[in-house]
Amino acid sequence: MGKLTGRALMRAVPATQWRVESREWRVRANLACFRALVVFAVIVISLVCGGSALAADAEFRLEIDNLNLQKGVSSNLVVSLANAQGAEVIRIAGIENFDVLSQNSSTSINIINGASSFKENRQYTIIPKTTGQFSLIATVKYNGAIYETNTLQVTVSEGSSSGGNAESDLFVKTNLSKPEAYLGEKLLVTYELYTRYNIENCGFTDYTALDGIIAKDVPTEQLKNEFVYLDGVRYAKYEVKQLILDPIKAGAHIIPSFNMQVDVITDNSYGSVFGGFFSSSQPVYLQTEEQELTIKPLPQAEKPQDFSGIVGQLRLEGSFSREEVDYGDSLLLTVTVYGNCNLDSLKKILITSPPGFTVYETQKNTTESAANNQYYAQKDYEIILVPDKTGAIEIAPIEISYFDPISEKYLQAKIAGTTINVLGEMPLVQSSAGAGQAISLEAVKIDQVNYTEANDDYFTVRLNKQVLYKALIGLAALLVVAALLIWLLIKRKRQDLVMKSLYRQLLAAQDINEIYNIFGEMIKHRYSLSIKASPQNTVLSSLPQPDVATRTADIMDYMESGGEKDCSCLKDKVKGVYHII
């Protein structure tokens, strides 16, 4: 693996989002080319050697990258089957202490001096479930006999991410803004990747919703990437994911550990020869730390009756556009509410209008962001005040109650009051009762009577306006229905040929993974959404049809659950979604 350089950081920074399809295409192309070269070499060598071959004895070995593993970091376990075509790995004792993230196999044939040797490697990407010492040994069945490999003694220790030191070249840290909070506060959890390698992609593979907590992703453009030093060692730090947490109930909560895949760019001699086309990457799996979060209920003692529901450190700023205005004109009050507090419950600044004014209030802007691993929110309001009378009108201070978790007290944020001078005089209506006295006016409606000259050459038709309006509305509705029917007929004739093709592939599929892949292609074709590269909450919020979103989430849960899966059951689930979309 190549160590990270400044130029490599620029290359890797935009790649923190998952690009599975492009990577799979390149890996498949590399693998196909490599296999073609191997087959060609085997054919040529066999012809040169006259086709003679002496088979060597069968050999079975168990190998691992490192006998000293860290919790939360993956490793590659390999069962090597030499000169044993058709051998079957029955089981690996001790592997139940590890999560198996992926499996694959590779084969190779060597011909030396006319003697051929065959080798097959069964590779397992594993990640420890817990710390301790474990023994691993594989059992192999070959030609009706049972064999055992060598035994590996593996030691698993706590990961270096908890200490934040430079013990590993690749690790992930989980930073929670605070371990304790009050109900109503919003918090941040940040997942940071530290690496000394060049990386191509990174992302979560199994992120799910949090129980009892509403989680919202911070936009990727707000995530930071930078160089840092740990114990004098230079690392590239990527903020892979950042979540805004809004607990909905008090008590103890667990933020579980999640699996993350990092594609580390590996050194490849073919890359320099063919301009990088054959460059490859190796997946490395990391596991985030489990975090405990305690949410405390708000104290009921001294809780004000006008409590706004805001929890956090609130700041309130406001200013009047002017303090002197002509009658019939208006003035503007601009208000900014901000701080590391939850502003979701703040809908209006003025609950009631100040005496002597008519009020028109508008919320102009709402922002949420993260700074120094702390949640920050801001809302901007514009309030138009129209005087109802002249003279000096006093506006009382504007107060918003909130709970400060630092002092653990209910406080008030204030905008100072002021006095507005309304110039001019209110208009009065003159009457015979006396000058300057206002009188009420009664509106009188006079129906106009129209007389038309009779003419025997014409028919005169009088239609009620309400009847005419209803008739026109009915005619317009019929035209809309007719246009909709025509559109549906045209759409029926232009059925989606791609979806029909995918459906035919679904009916013919016999493998559970193939069925799920076809379903993913259906969703991607119709909604431009990849269910493999997106967490379940993103899928639920991105699919426009609630029924489709619910059924898709059910299929994802079915595939992620343990145990054996039935192809016909999965097909029925996918068919249900297909008939809707």
Residue ranges covered by each domain of the chain:
6-12+160-296, 49-157, 307-423, 497-580
Q: Which of 34-38, 90-94, 160-164 has the highest mean pLDDT?
A: 90-94
- The Cβ of residue 329 has, within 10 Å, a number of other Cβ atoms equal to 12
Q: Is 398 helix (H, G, I), strand (E, B) or coil?
A: strand
> 287 has which bridge partners?
259
For 379, the token pair is 């809302």
* DSSP letter, residue 452: -
Tell whether the torsion through CA atoms of 503, 508, 511 and 512 is positive or negative: positive
DSSP codes of every residue in 254-302: EE---EEEEEEEEP-HHHHHTTTTT-EEEEEEEEPPPEEEEEEPPP-TT
**Torsion angles phi and psi, residue 32, rounded to 5:** -65, -45
384: closest CA among 354, 413, 414, 412? 354
Architecture of domain 307-423: Sandwich (2.60)
Task: Work out the average pLDDT over 119-147.
Answer: 91
Q: Judge contact between 198 and 244, C-beta under 8 A.
A: no
- Higher local confidence (pLDDT), 231 or 491: 231
Position 468 scores a pLDDT of: 81
pLDDT at 145 over 50: yes
Band the pLDDT of 14: cuts 50, 70, 90.
Answer: very low
pLDDT at 25 over 70: no
- Please tell me if the domain spanning 49-157 has the same topology as the one spanning 307-423: yes
The model's pLDDT over 521-553, given as tens digits with 9 standing for 90+, comes to 888 888 888 887 788 888 888 888 888 888 888
Q: Judge contact between 555 and 570, C-beta under 8 A.
A: yes
Band the pLDDT of 423: cuts 50, 70, 90.
Answer: very high
d(CA 330, CA 388): 10
Q: Is 461 helix (H, G, I), strand (E, B) or coil?
A: coil
* DSSP letter, residue 3: B
pLDDT at 56 over 70: no
Question: What percentage of residues in the chain have a pLDDT greater than 90?
Answer: 39
Let me know how long the chain is. Answer: 581
pLDDT at 177 over 60: yes
Tell whether the torsion through CA atoms of 548, 550, 555 and 559 is positive or negative: positive
The model's pLDDT over 565-578, given as tens digits with 9 standing for 90+, comes to 888 888 889 998 88
Band the pLDDT of 72: cuts 50, 70, 90.
Answer: confident
155: closest CA among 262, 257, 64? 64
The model's pLDDT over 510-524, given as tens digits with 9 standing for 90+, comes to 888 889 889 888 888
| Region of poorest pLDDT, from 32-36, 143-147, 200-204, 407-411 | 32-36
98: closest CA among 60, 66, 71, 138? 71
What CATH number matches the domain at 49-157, 3.60.130.10, 1.20.120.1200, 2.60.40.740, 1.20.120.1810? 2.60.40.740
pLDDT at 254 over 80: yes
For 122, the token pair is 């069964």
pLDDT at 272 over 60: no
pLDDT at 280 over 80: no
Q: Which of 39-43, 279-283, 491-495 has the highest mean pLDDT?
A: 279-283
d(CA 18, CA 497): 28
State how far the alpha carbon of 204 is from the alpha carbons of 143, 400, 420, in Å: 42, 41, 57
- The Cβ of residue 250 has, within 10 Å, a number of other Cβ atoms equal to 16
d(CA 573, CA 567): 10
Question: From the CA atom positions of the chain, what is the Rg in Å?
Answer: 36
Position 34 scores a pLDDT of: 56
d(CA 7, CA 239): 19
Position 469 scores a pLDDT of: 81
**Torsion angles phi and psi, residue 238, rounded to 5:** -115, 130
Mean pLDDT across the chain, nearest whole number?
81
281: closest CA among 561, 1, 580? 1
Position 268 scores a pLDDT of: 52
The model's pLDDT over 183-237, given as tens digits with 9 standing for 90+, comes to 999 999 999 999 998 888 899 988 777 889 999 999 988 899 999 988 888 899 9
Position 527 scores a pLDDT of: 85
d(CA 178, CA 188): 8
Q: Judge contact between 313 and 406, C-beta under 8 A.
A: yes
pLDDT at 439 over 70: no
Position 339 scores a pLDDT of: 94
pLDDT at 456 over 80: no
Question: What is the edge-to-edge ordering of all strands in the sheet holding 331-341?
Answer: 357-371, 374-387, 331-341, 307-320, 398-404, 409-415
d(CA 180, CA 309): 19
Position 341 scores a pLDDT of: 94
Position 557 scores a pLDDT of: 85
